[in-house]
Chain A
Amino acid sequence: MKATRITHRYARAIFAVASAAGVVRETLADLQAVVGYRESDRDAAQQLSSVLLHPRVWEAKKSALIDGAFGAGIGKIALRCLHLLVRTGRLREGPVIVDALEALIRESEGRQTALVSTAVELSDDRRREIVGRLEQLTGKTIEATFSVEPRLLGGIVIHLGDRLIDGSVRYHLDTMRADIKGLYLH
């Protein structure tokens, strides 16, 4: 799904309101529950979203539906959020907004996700070591996910938010191939 400027603007607004009220985590959990609701309970979610996203269903009806489905279960800010998205017709971007909100919260709390890929399974000690080094490097709490990608052949690739640290054998081989071919741009 596209992450546009608009979704970030919504996320920032929700973050500001929620942090003023001191319910950032709760709001995020609520919104994630709404998004997650749609994923766990397929049939109900599909029916609900087909109505909520249908252009010919009136706003009032959609709002009433939201009140009925989530009114009791989620906080005030999250609920108002959903109503706002209905009114502005941005419900479709909901999941992206929630993701952006999560990223904002993570950033404000000094946490950082990292995706660590290696060619072979790492031992727990190595994992701790890597996380420790990354925390040293970034000064943030690292939430690491580990994956095994045999395609890398060896070494390690770390996605740290928007940064990529590539020390894989695959990368070295690729650069070596390009150098030897003496290729220019292509």
Chain B
Amino acid sequence: MVLRHEEITALIKSELEGFRKDLQVVDVGTVTEVGDGIAHVYGLQGAMAGELLEFDTAAGTGEKVYGMALNLDDVSVGAVLLGDDRKIAEGCLVRTTGRIAEVPVGEALLGRVVDALGKPLDGKGPVLTKEARHVEVKAPGVVLRQPVKEPLQTGLKAIDSMIPIGRGQRELIIGDRQTGKTAIALDTIINQKDGDVFCIYVAIGQKQSTIVQVVETLKRHNAIDRTIVVCTTAVDPAPLQYIAPYAGCVMGEYFRDSGRHALIIYDDLSKHAVAYRQLSLLLRRPPAREAYPGDIFNLHSRLLERAAKMSEAKGGGSLTALPIIETQAGDFAAYIPTNVISITDGQIYLEPDLFYSGVRPAVNVGLSVSRVGSSAQTKAMKKVAARLKLDLARYFELAAFAQFSTDLDKATKAELSRGERMIEVLKQDQCKPLELSQQVIIIYAGTNGYLDDLPPGRIREFEAQLLDVIRSRYPDVLSQIDSSKDLTEPIVERLKVAITEFKKGFKA
């Protein structure tokens, strides 16, 4: 951005001319205790819950630190600090501002990395947005919504076929550390790069190195231009980590409320809960289970409720949320995981055992569900994948059983070999999302027995080559599936011909 001197002068001039000499009349208090991102303030009788407070700093440079009033006691106020607590000392003056925390929203944020207050962190200059919105707003009511019905393509075969996600849905990604949770989220973002969905990635308490990796991955796949990265690292004070998801959410709501579609990823809400626990305990709120405060459920519900599919009268926009939860040693019955499972419309459960045995994405088919289900699936996908989930679940059961017996009847053997091949089909490399048509074709080949006579080890090779051949020799099949989102009889016929022909060459 280049600003000319005259422009700056003109700006300052207009600012000076429009300057009114108002008196500032505010409630004030003094800091009685400060530390760990928390301040207790004596006085401030007029402060409102959630109001932004302005703290004078001890150095006397006129620099201000902002905070948020969370506890309103009879003679004092407990506040969280959104800046550096070391600049504030006991006895510093605190003023009410009459505002609540806001962040900038708008298209100018796309392609940027910002902190929880919307300040740029990527060194690309100021974020010039026209609008700022309140971080904490109420979720849209029932009247303003409509059922989730359009699919949000993740580009992952395992998810789009068996656990379809709709626009406006909240689907939890849950699993132990290092099972590919962030990878699924990133693949989904990358898959939106040519579509109409804007993405927001909120990093909460992440390692700085991980965030750099995420941003680099998005850049490498040209997905950053449609993405906002809201970033709080592990070293940021807990209050910033606490408001980061709300800040990201309001940036997404900007798109939702203007009739467009947005996808938001909260990576991850376990760390968010921990940050909130920290500041709740420091504010001396009573601890409950696992020392989390009593309102931890509400904390996550009021965040995730803001994901919605708006009614046509409201523009029909949507905000889809993919919260991430990290479990400890597979314990998804712990407090925070069960909370978020019950808030969301389904979960994708990632399992370390599957991950290490090479099934990636390591989706546990039995434990993963999407409560919106097939109403958010295209016809084409419904036709090829209708029975896939049940079949695979049965395969896992049979496979466990078959370990004990050598003598299996023919039907069981067939089912086992089909299952083994379908698992191969559903494997997918990282950062390589597939378009709907390509997913449909390979799943069609699998569920209709075209792969049964191939050794499982060669299936991924088969898939790659088959898709190459179809792209070059039968592009009409791809384009027809992608445009009609359906698998009509004529297309199926063409597809059968294509697969049979290719298979002849492949086997030889």
Contact = CB atoms under 8 A, between A and B. Distances in A.
Interface in B405-438: none
B25 A165 contact: yes
A44 interface: no
A164 B74 contact: no
Contacts of B62: 174
B247 to A, nearest CB: 11
A172 interface: yes
Contacts of B101: 185
Nearest to A166: B24
B15 A176 contact: yes
B24 A186 contact: no
Contacts of A3: 32, 42, 75-76
B73 interface: yes
Given A5-B73, A5-B75, A184-B104, A163 B66 contact: no
Given A3-B42, A3-B75, A163 B11 contact: no
Nearest to B20: A172
Interface stretch (B43-51, B140-148, B203-211, B386-394): B43-51
Nearest to B24: A166
Interface string A165-176: 111000110111
Interface string B42-72: 1111100000000000000010101000000
Nearest to B43: A162
Contacts of A175: 24
B24 A163 contact: no
B75 to A, nearest CB: 5
B119 A164 contact: no
B215 to A, nearest CB: 22
A164 B73 contact: no
A162 B23 CA distance: 16
A185 B66 contact: yes
Interface residues of B, number: 39
Interface residues of A, number: 23
Contact of A8 (B23, B75, B118): B75
Contacts of A159: 28
A179 B102 CA distance: 16
A186 B45 contact: no
B88 interface: no
A8 B12 CA distance: 49
B104 A165 contact: no
A180 B46 CA distance: 29
B102 to A, nearest CB: 8
Contacts of B102: 185
B132 interface: yes
A172 B12 CA distance: 15
Contact of B23 (A165, A179, A185, A186): A165
B24 A167 contact: yes
Contacts of A2: 32-33, 42
B75 A167 contact: no
A18 to B, nearest CB: 20
A4 interface: yes
Interface in B243-264: none
Interface in B60-105: 62, 64, 66, 73-76, 82-83, 93, 95, 101-102, 104
Interface in A135-186: 159, 162-167, 171-172, 174-176, 179-180, 182, 184-186
B1 interface: no
B26 A166 contact: yes
Contact of B15 (A162, A171, A179, A184): A179
A162 B32 contact: no
A165 B23 CA distance: 7
A5 B76 contact: yes
A175 B62 CA distance: 11
B82 A176 contact: no
Contact of A162 (B27, B33, B83, B132): B27
A23 B236 CA distance: 54
Interface in A7-45: 8
B76 A165 contact: no
Interface string B13-36: 001100101011111110011000
Contact of B82 (A174, A182, A185): A185
A3 B28 CA distance: 15
A186 B33 contact: no
Nearest to A100: B75
A182 to B, nearest CB: 8
Given A164-B25, A171-B24, A184-B118, 6 more contacts: A5-B76, A162-B28, A164-B27, A165-B24, A166-B24, A186-B83
The 5 lowest CB-CB distance pairs between A and B, nearest first, are A166-B24, A164-B28, A167-B23, A162-B43, A3-B42
18 contacts: A3-B42, A3-B75, A3-B76, A8-B75, A159-B28, A162-B28, A163-B46, A164-B24, A164-B26, A164-B93, A166-B23, A166-B24, A167-B24, A175-B24, A180-B15, A182-B126, A185-B82, A185-B117
Interface of A: 2-5, 8, 159, 162-167, 171-172, 174-176, 179-180, 182, 184-186
Interface of B: 11-12, 15-16, 19, 21, 23-29, 32-33, 42-46, 62, 64, 66, 73-76, 82-83, 93, 95, 101-102, 104, 117-119, 126, 132
